[in-house]
Amino acid sequence: MSGSNKRGIKCPYCGFIGKPRDYTYMYEAVLYVADQEVLKEERERPVLLICPRCNRGFFLESPYQKLLERLYNRAD
Ligand SMILES: [Zn+2]
């Protein structure tokens, strides 16, 4: 099953459905610091979303991930 739908991104924990900008984003780089195991850097960095309601984090599915990367790379 999907954790997302066309109307928004649904939190798999509490069921909150919000627009992409309702969520807080963390990138994999944070995880590198927390874990000394070998974690090679990858070009594709999974985006961890933090739910604004329950504050739990979850990873996006790839279709949404690519969409968000476009949104967040607007600085160029
Ligand atoms: Zn939630």
Domain ranges of the chain: 4-72
Question: 3 alpha carbon to ligand 1 midpoint, in Å?
Answer: 11
- pLDDT tens digit string along 24-65? 988 755 455 555 666 565 556 677 889 999 999 988 765 566
Q: By C-alpha distance, which of 29, 17, 26 is closest to 48?
A: 26
Question: 48 alpha carbon to ligand 1 midpoint, in Å?
Answer: 13
Confidence of residue 75 (pLDDT cuts 50, 70, 90): low
What is residue 37's DSSP assignment?
S
